[in-house]
Structure 1
């Protein structure tokens, strides 16, 4: 029941995919290669479409070819048939660590915004532990699929290190990310099923991380009490928060509203689609000066920004204010909470605790912050990033 051979990875239009093979008898190894050839032909590899690479694993993993080595399905066919079997153990955990560290680098052809997929072929069971390695790979956004063939016999089960290794390894234990195949001869029937799954970019949950899966709206108080110098400090804080995220049209997007009695959309989600442009736009926001209608600003954010949010993005609102709102914040805050917006409130100087708590998503201690002066904004930077990621990672995986 030992397995040890190969990873295949490809990027479907907007996705990258890798597959891991297993070490077995020569005949089975050939079946496995035939399966990979068929997968490579069905997915239609190309520069504008999926990209595919293969890793063979045994005692140690080795890249047979990287994502960028072949730019068409036609070229992949002879390359796969030339792969030579190496033998050895079935160190799947080691293979997953290897992929996580080396395979999906930009140098190897990774394209930003395209999901990364690893398909692991296992004959029988792994000879090392997979849980930790797969968790780290998932957290870095790699969608892990397992194709298990045959599995251990009754008398072999005592040698299995992690009996439910598939559930521990895959992106979700809902059956979508794992295929269990009774025999090697049934493998070829699964080509269409596997390809359909790895191409379903909406269901590739692991490509979403706390840094690339958000629409973040900053709602900034531009009232007279803030003053020009403090307003620059606020903008620097907004830039520092933004700096932490992966910014692109398919990753995290940022929109900004400045408010006084009135509201001004400084820029919308997706208007600045790379980090340099975005940071530049933040720097050039002009201070407005006027009153403080925080409630109206939150409603405006819902209408102008969150109504245009992408369905698969987490909606995050960060409100920064230095005073009491002239209008009611409670009803507008409740309305955005109901629409699934996660709201953070940052109050400075004369901000009112009640307002801040109404604005913030529960629990307040994770979403609401107060400081005496603007220069202390930096103290909450790491807390906010940490809390956004913590909340994202603690969502149930199933």
Structure 2
């Protein structure tokens, strides 16, 4: 994000804002020396208006200044405005000093639009709460989100709020005027009396700053443990591993002159990945009338080999752009275990589609196959030439990027990397660990698993059961665990309650439950 040049008007606004700062002078360090990554998600919809947005700017300026007073340089800040679409104002690592952050806030412009708070939260998770964007979560630094909105969201906030909650992120919800209290509580962390603020007027925002700072300080002080990373096969972790496929329009819609620009985008992304058998694997295919696989996930072991293969790509041409057939090819052949796919090991699988025109065939079958398999799909298009197709197949509409022209495509690598890295780090964000064995007495517990879920979801369910078993006193006179799967009206027992007399035996049976190619579960006998 480019830094804003200060105008004389900003100096005047600085004087005005300074008079609104809460009296926090000489306040003791309420965070006990701990650091925090603080993300502001700010509604800038039409219902707010320019005049009220000025009060929001003042609120953000004063709040940031007050937080800097108590947290110093240990506190880092990021800000996203949202309406119909979220837009990054700055990331945690955009500015080295809080003074530069404050200068940006003063110069921030009002955008206008709808109110898609759920999309804003999702964008924050995927594009900002990543190591590449400056997050220090893997170092154990507290993650704090402050949401400000003035009305009911036009989309669902429950799912992204649940992701944040399970990841241990502290969420503070600030509502103004027509904000819905139940929705604020849906987003906010517990206890609500310190995490939810709902005021009748934008003028009153300044009156809640001190209470908000105190609440945030308390949340940071209570958060001191580093997050756990889920181990995967090969010695890496699920947070630094991925299967990544590039699917590129090779038809005349791109053209021979523009194809090298698209190729440069792929090169820029690969150059910044940690490529290897136990980290990120890369595959690539072109599509026109028919898909053409250039290399598989297991074709190359090194980054240098992949870069050479990408540099050797040549334009194929043709007047057809059958994206649907290409998506089916990816689902069937590029992400499978025989092609190097590691979905069964819990590794996230991702697809980046570059399209320069609407598809000339139906994309629905391929789209369904990828979504069933839990593949995370991103899209890149020129202007709005293929936006509708890509938004339909993408995991989320915010995962579709639009370049104004082909020359701008190569410069989109950094933004795509933020998405990719964010998904690698957040795929297992909802895997919690049980940390102590609880005396529960005799119990018969049965887990029922939907076998039509994608590989990643099934593996997450299996991992949940395995961790649960690890902490229970397993035995005929203590806790017995059973497991069954279902598909439509068919129920299939996998682990009987009385079939395993010890924890080790039970764990071994749970570990071998895996999704197979047609997404049913199978049990391999140990």
TM-score (normalizing by structure 2): 0.39
Partner of 1:283, secondary structure, is coil
Q: Unaligned regions of 5+ residues in structure 2, if any?
A: 1-237, 435-439, 482-493, 503-519, 521-526
Q: Does 1:91 align with 2:322?
A: yes
Query: Post-superposition shift, 1:127?
Result: 1.6
Superposed CA deviations along residues 114-173 of structure 1, whole A, max 9, x for unmatched, are: 111010000122222223421221111111111112344xxxxxxx8xx72222111122
Q: Which residue of 2 aligns with 1:167?
A: 391
Query: Post-superposition shift, 1:283?
Result: 2.4
Residue in structure 1 matching 2:372, options 120, 123, 139: 139
Residue in structure 2 matching 1:185, options 389, 407, 413: 407
Measure, in 2, the Cα distance between the counterparts of 1:178 and 1:164. Answer: 10
1:342-361 matches, cutoff 5 A: none
Q: Does 1:285 align with 2:501?
A: yes
Report if aligned partners of 1:113, 1:251 keep a CA contact under 8 Å in 2: no
Q: Which residue of 2 aligns with 1:197?
A: 419
Partner of 2:286, secondary structure, is strand
Report if aligned partners of 1:19, 1:119 keep a CA contact under 8 Å in 2: yes
Q: Does 1:45 align with 2:45?
A: no
Measure, in 1, the Cα distance between the counterparts of 2:262 and 2:347. Answer: 26
Q: Which residue of 1 aligns with 2:464?
A: 253
Measure, in 2, the Cα distance between the counterparts of 1:71 and 1:199. Answer: 20
Q: Unaligned regions of 5+ residues in structure 1, if any?
A: 1-10, 153-159, 224-233, 268-277, 287-385, 387-398
Q: Which residue of 2 aligns with 1:78?
A: 308
Q: Which residue of 1 aligns with 2:168?
A: none
1:142-153 matches, cutoff 5 A: 142-152=375-385
The 1:109–1:97 alpha-carbon spacing in structure 2 relative to 1, beyond 3 Å, is: same
Residue in structure 2 matching 1:107, options 338, 343, 350: 338
Report if aligned partners of 2:248, 2:285 keep a CA contact under 8 Å in 1: yes
Q: Does 1:123 align with 2:356?
A: yes
Measure, in 1, the Cα distance between the counterparts of 2:497 and 2:270. Answer: 43
Report if aligned partners of 1:215, 1:252 keep a CA contact under 8 Å in 2: no
Superposed CA deviations along residues 53-78 of structure 1, whole A, max 9, x for unmatched, are: 10111111021000111122211122
* Structure of higher RCO (CA pairs closer than 8 Å, 6+ residues apart): 1
The 1:68–1:283 alpha-carbon spacing in structure 2 relative to 1, beyond 3 Å, is: same
Report if aligned partners of 2:442, 2:478 keep a CA contact under 8 Å in 1: no
Report if aligned partners of 1:214, 1:252 keep a CA contact under 8 Å in 2: no
Q: Which residue of 1 aligns with 2:288?
A: 58
Measure, in 2, the Cα distance between the counterparts of 1:61 and 1:282. Answer: 50
Report if aligned partners of 2:239, 2:426 keep a CA contact under 8 Å in 1: no
The 1:280–1:199 alpha-carbon spacing in structure 2 relative to 1, beyond 3 Å, is: farther
Measure, in 1, the Cα distance between the counterparts of 2:372 and 2:473. Answer: 34
Partner of 1:117, secondary structure, is strand
Q: Tell me how large the CA RMSD over aligned residues is.
A: 4.3
Query: Post-superposition shift, 1:97?
Result: 0.9
